[in-house]
Structure 1
Amino acid sequence: MAALTPLVLRQYSPTIYKPDGTAHTTKEELTPLAKHIRDTILATGPISIASYMQLALTSPIGGYYTRGQVFGREGDFVTSPEISQMFGEIMAVWYAMHWETMGRPAKTSFVELGPGRGTLMNDIMRASKRFKAFYASIQGIHFIEKSPELRRLQHDKLGCDWNDTTATSDKNSPGIPASGTSKSHNGLRISWYDLLEEIAVEQDCVPLVMAHEFFDALPIYKFEKSEGGKWSEILVDVAESTSIPTDPVSSSAKPSTSHFKYVRARGVTSNAALIMRDQRFGALFDKGDHVEISPESARIMIQLAEWISSKSGMGLIIDYGVDWTQGNTFRGIKNHRFSDPLSSPGSMDLTADVDFSYLRYAANGKARCFGPIEQGEFLHSMGIQARLQQLLHSTSDAKVQKDLVDCYKRLTDVHSMGRVYKVLAVLPAETAMTPVPFASAAAKEGS
């Protein structure tokens, strides 16, 4: 989950030339996590990119999300809610507006997947107080979050009292919140879960789902179409200390400090046989093309779609990506720059563009999807310019005013986040209405 506009990746590799003129690259430090991944590969053979991502992001040995400060200017990337309060305020307006159109249900609960530092939900709840009847319907907040450090940050951001907090039973990492009471938001109960299916919401309680920069961090598998229409899986292997690995993504040989490299599977892997049997992939791609597929994204999307339909809920999915399948978007993000995803696992965020067509395909027949539309269009249609004017008039400080305008531009400009990020709305399968502001993008069922 990372808010970045495209940047040129510059790699600096200390290269030493041996007497015969060939290049030898000094390898980076072998951290405990890198050693664990290396030993796993040496024991079992090359692993999928999905397995590598899971280890690098969530391993208790040193996975990226076990760290605390990964968001914001002091971290590796800045998300939209961290840029401006206006983002969360606009989301609150959207939920309140559609709560009205759906008959003002008496009970609602917010459900956020991958809530970051809790900034977005905190802004949504703060802005929701302006809509008294809507705010009164909110029974609680449910966070899907595996990271212990991020749970603690979310707990504090929403003003929960540690004296009234129930911790998990994990003895190896004490103080991980499982539930707490928010003093900032009228004593609402905040609950944390590892998985969506763990949430138990009353049958008459309508879920209001938010997935902001969640799907981009889910594990992907990568495949290359070979001779005869077969798909070869791209795997992660150990790079020898003297090797200059060839990256099958770019087909260029560059010295690398990483202990890992990409390789093509020698035969048809079980992943390739299972995932790529869908004929929609075979018809759209030619020999040599690469595709990135996230079965975990499809699995979660199916759950969300069925849940939203069965409980008459609503959801927004906001992420960077496109409405078709791509092949070469897997990357690392460190210190607000793109970086080699195989370098120093655990030190950077790993991400890939979201395939919104794949999410819609997964939801087909289970819920109605509207969009995706560009983030800039969504925010403008929902009134972000009017909110900007209100904030500008509330201060005479020129610097504050400039910062407000700069943040607005960053969120909406087509050369920044306004075009790269997309918004997809998910409503129950029986929904007849078109949600605001998706009139320009009629409901799209599976592709």
Structure 2
Amino acid sequence: MTPLGRRLARRIRTQGSLSVAEYMTACLFDPAEGVYTRADPLGREGHFTTAPEISQMFGELLGLWAGACWQAQGRPARCLLIELGPGRGTLMADALRALALLPAFLEAAEVVLIEASPGLRAVQERALAGRVVRWADSLDDLPEAPIFLLANEFFDALPIRQYLKTPEGWAERRVGLDEAERLRWGLSTPLPGHPPGLTPAKQAAPVGALVETCTAGETITGEIGRRLRTHGGAALAVDYGYHPSTAGETFQALARHKTTDPLSEPGRADLTAHVDFEALATASGATAHGPVDQGRLLQALGIEARAQTLKAKATPQQAADIDIALRRLTAPDQMGRLFKALALTAEGAPAPPGFPA
């Protein structure tokens, strides 16, 4: 067992079983042994690779998406350009480079990165050297202003809870210990009534169904929605997930780019769950656009034209790499269909680029 696993076993032995959310939080954000605090989890040497690391085109197009929304909403003189969970800072670096085409937006926007990991903040600072950027722990730390917000593979890493519908009622899935002191799955006693935060579809799930909730994600989108309703702006979340809301287990672990048992390597494997886009949209209280497939969004934003422009000045090998990246980001059998994009705006705001009016 990993060092974090041994500590969690001691915690369970003395304090009782953990919810899936408590287990995820420890595995991802433990100050000494969490996936996001002890090392860089991205790239070939990490556990997974995100779209901004595949090609500069992704961040460039999302940056220009934010700039176009700013223009469509009357070019407010002061606003916030926010990224949630900015990884290595690659997306924001590419976005700001592309936004040089819209200098008035860069003049109006304060760039803010919401990042919990001190290690990743240092990586982001290097990627954005020479840029005026500030970091914050949460949206609550930011001033009141129009927001133009980007979140790529952010919501999938937020802690979830899982519930099983039994003949006696709902029971929460928990992490406990077996006779050999190894981590194992268990269930709570039946709960009185429905668990909090279930969508109608999940409430109506049949006996034997497992459902997931993400209170943290819904709280964050609630704050995003409040700011959009009050001040205007737009938000774009790109992630793997599902719509409409439905029952089913999506909790998974990735270690060194391969799936693994979520209980086998605490602190050494990335833990995620698919995003319930319907639940996020409802919790926001804002006007939802989409979700649409990532491939469809990128095509609408002009990724093929951008690829051709890049290839015009590329070596043959670079051109081949651009074609590979384009396919990986947009093809239905790659990331193009699995990943989806949800946009949020205030009621009455223009439909964002890439989303039906």
TM-score range, shorter chain: over 0.9
Instruction: Give the one of 212, 224, 234 matched to 1:314.
Output: 234
Distance in 1 (alpha carbons) for counterparts of 2:299 and 2:195 = 42
Counterpart of 1:333 in structure 2 is 254
Q: Which residue of 2 aligns with 1:218?
A: 158
Quote the offset at 1:313 in angstroms.
1.5
1:25-174 aligned at under 5 Å gives the runs 30-138=1-109, 140-159=110-129
Instruction: Please point out which of 169, 186, 200 is paired with 1:263.
Output: 186
Give the alignment partner of residue 414 of structure 1, picking from 328, 332, 341.
332
Alignment of 1:244-283 (within 5 A): 259-268=182-191, 273-275=194-196, 279-283=200-204
Partner of 2:266, secondary structure, is coil
Amino acid at match of 1:400: Q
Contact 1:317 1:424 in 2 (8 A): yes
CA gap of 1:306–1:393, structure 2 versus 1, over 3 A, is same
**For the residues of structure 2 that align with 1:277 and 1:101, how far apart are their CA atoms?**
35
Q: What secondary structure sits across from 1:291 in the alignment? A: strand
1:295 aligns with 2:210: no
TM-score (ref. length: structure 1)? 0.77
Q: Identical aligned pairs, as a percentage?
A: 37
Range that drifts further, 93-102 or 118-127? 93-102
Q: Which has the higher helix share?
A: 2
SS of residue paired to 1:141? strand
Q: Which residue of 2 aligns with 1:176?
A: none
Q: Distance in 2 between matches of 1:266 and 1:332?
A: 26
Which residue of 2 is the match for residue 429 of structure 1? Answer: 347
Q: Distance in 2 between matches of 1:368 and 1:267?
A: 36
Gap runs ≥5 in structure 2: none
Shift of residue 398, structure 1, vs aligned partner:
1.3
Find out whether 1:369 has 2:288 as its counterpart.
yes
Query: In structure 2, what is the equivalent of residue 10 of structure 1?
Result: none
Structure-2-length-normalised TM-score: 0.95
Aligned partners of 2:70 and 2:148 also within 8 Å: no
| SS of residue in 2 equivalent to 1:275 | coil
Query: What secondary structure is seen at the aligned counterpart in 2 of 1:71?
Result: coil
Partner of 2:253: helix, strand, or coil? strand
Shift of 1:135: 2.4
Equivalent pair of 2:83/2:151 in contact (CA under 8 Å): yes
**Is the contact between residue 325 and residue 357 of structure 1 (CA under 8 Å) also seen in structure 2?**
no
Distance 1:103 1:277, change over 3 A: closer
Aligned twin of 2:355: 438
SS of the aligned residue for 1:69 comes to coil
Change (3 A) 1:262 1:90: same
Q: Does 2:312 correspond to 1:393?
A: yes
- Per the TM alignment, residue 303 of structure 1 is displaced from its structure 2 partner at its CA by 0.7
Give per-residue Cα distances to partners, 1:54-92, cap 9 Å, x unaligned. 011101131111123211122111000000000011112
Superposition deviation, residue 31 in structure 1: 3.0
Structure 1 CA distance, aligned partners of 2:353 and 2:82?
20
| Residue deviations 1:307-332 (CA, integer Å, cap 9, x gap) | 12212111101100111234211011
In the alignment, residue 333 of structure 2 is paired with which amino acid? H
**Which residue in 2 is equivalent to 1:234?**
173
Asked whether the equivalents of residues 313 and 427 of structure 1 are also in contact (C-alpha less than 8 Å), the reply is: yes
Q: RMSD of aligned C-alpha atoms?
A: 1.7
